[in-house]
Structure 1
Amino acid sequence: MATATYPPPPPFYRLYKDYLQNPKSAPEPPPPIEGTYVCFGGNYTTDDVLPSLEDQGVRQLYPKGPNIGNFCILLIDVMNCKMEFVLACFVHGCFLVVDFKKELRSLNRELQLHILELADVLVERPSQYARQVEEISLIFKNLHHLLNSLRPHQARATLIHILELQIQRRKEALEDIKRASLSWGIFTPENVEECMSLSPETKDIPLRILIRRREEARRLLKESLGTLDGQ
């Protein structure tokens, strides 16, 4: 029985023409979704804002304030040479500062305590474990919300670090090329214009060697820049 290597295309391909001949033959992409939408059974919104715990119906265990994702500040303690993430919120006319590190440690200790209590409850009162499980779930939700509020700052800091590394690599590559070109006698303040105006047909052997070195330096420069662009 003979079979085709690949199945035939679906019949509706005849409804469309070559895109290069008639770009309008292809259907337009669907419009962007605005507002709320459902994905895998969950309701989501297109607004890129971290919802508060109260909006999600979860009790907040750390100091309350506006949306913490919009008030993330990085303070640098020069005296102690350390960095602290803090939350600056204006609540009832007073300036409230929430230390992220302190709150995360406090929630972590509280989580450990509730886990130990859950172990005791499972041994002594197995029927009363549900309350401890709810408390542990509440602590986890608060921990995740605090960590998610730091994601924008983490993304900015990571991007800054990547850009700084790229700039440093480019500077190092350029310095290496400059040192190599000077050591080979390719480009110097005295002969740079002369080197650029040289022709490969020259009969002067030193100049032909100079041209070959110049072309090699250009090739190395092109490879280095291509490597840096790919990083």
Structure 2
Amino acid sequence: MAEQEQSSSSTFPNPPSFWQDFTPENLTRIEQLRKSFAEANPTRDVPIRLSDIPDSLINLQPPAEPKDGKWRVFGEPLSLDDKLQTLEEGGITNLAPTHPSRQGDNATPSSLDRRDVPRADHALELKRLIKSLLLNFLELAGTLSINPGDGLAKAEDLNTLLFNIHHALNEYRPHQARESAAELMQEHLDRTRRETTAVRSQVEKARRVLEGLGSLTIPAEAVRGAAAAAGEDAAQVAEELKALDKRRDAELWAATDAAFA
């Protein structure tokens, strides 16, 4: 097992050893087992992992979930509990908090957690850390101009300040993610409302057009009466009515196009 972890964490790792289990015969066998399970349990879905299968087919199924929630990928340890590492765990000095709300009778830099501080205090702390960074950089420049050999200690102070600044920023990432998600949801909601308003406006416009079109009538009786009085035959009256219908349809389409233009 140790050799496998060492090989998987190399720069160019080889394929895992269980690739040899993926033979055509084993693939056919596991498909037959899944088909048999589906036939024996028609009301159930085929699970991702079948139980009671030969050892030669175990690697053909997805691996089981880690019981402790931890695993390794290319030698890097990963965990389901994605917790931000503290500065003390990384061997870095955690600068004492400056805000009164983060100080107590028994408060120490190791017992305090920036995540328990209001958001406004995060911003205040970042400002003070950045000011301290600028001041220490100025002191480093002065030290290097007088005695360059004494600049290493001040460079270490700058390194500690930078680590604390980055740690404070990383602690603020969840709030940033929540605000970004809320902004995206609000934009989606506003866009949906605008589209709904536009659709309702077009529906109302179409309703008014249809109501106007429904109020139009064809004076067919007047045409027939005039044709009969003039002694025209029925065929000629029918042709005139057809031409009138076409002209009315053209006018209706023109009015509709003008309304929706």
Determine if contact 2:71/2:79 at 8 Å carries over to the other structure.
yes
Separation of aligned partners in 2, 1:100 and 1:113:
20
The match for 2:95 is 61
Matching of residue 107 in structure 1 with residue 114 in structure 2 = no
Determine if contact 1:114/1:135 at 8 Å carries over to the other structure.
yes
Greater strand content: 1
Query: Residues 66, 39 of structure 1: CA spacing in aligned structure 2 closer, same or farther, 3 A cutoff?
Result: farther
The match for 1:218 is none
Matching of residue 178 in structure 1 with residue 200 in structure 2 = yes
TM-score (norm 1): 0.56
Number of corresponding residues: 166
- Please state how far the C-alpha of 1:186 moved relative to its aligned partner: 7.8
Tell me which amino acid in the other structure corresponds to 2:28.
Answer: K
TM-score (norm 2): 0.50
Determine if contact 1:62/1:103 at 8 Å carries over to the other structure.
no
- Please state how far the C-alpha of 1:41 moved relative to its aligned partner: 6.7
Query: Residues 48, 16 of structure 1: CA spacing in aligned structure 2 closer, same or farther, 3 A cutoff?
Result: same
Determine if contact 2:114/2:122 at 8 Å carries over to the other structure.
no
- Please state how far the C-alpha of 1:22 moved relative to its aligned partner: 6.0
Separation of aligned partners in 2, 1:109 and 1:47:
34
Greater helix content: 2
Give unmatched runs, 5+ long, in structure 1. 1-9, 74-84, 87-98, 189-204, 214-231
**4+ residue runs of structure 1 moved beyond 4 angstroms?**
10-13, 18-26, 35-45
Separation of aligned partners in 1, 2:75 and 2:137:
30
Matching of residue 28 in structure 1 with residue 61 in structure 2 = yes
User: In the alignment, which of 83, 87, 101 is matched to residue 49 of structure 1?
Assistant: 83
The match for 2:28 is 17
Percent sequence identity over aligned pairs = 25
Deviation per CA, 1:161-192: give whole Å up to 9, x if none.
1111111111110110110111122899xxxx
Determine if contact 2:71/2:78 at 8 Å carries over to the other structure.
yes
User: In the alignment, which of 121, 139, 156 is matched to residue 178 of structure 2?
Assistant: 156
Query: Residues 113, 72 of structure 1: CA spacing in aligned structure 2 closer, same or farther, 3 A cutoff?
Result: closer
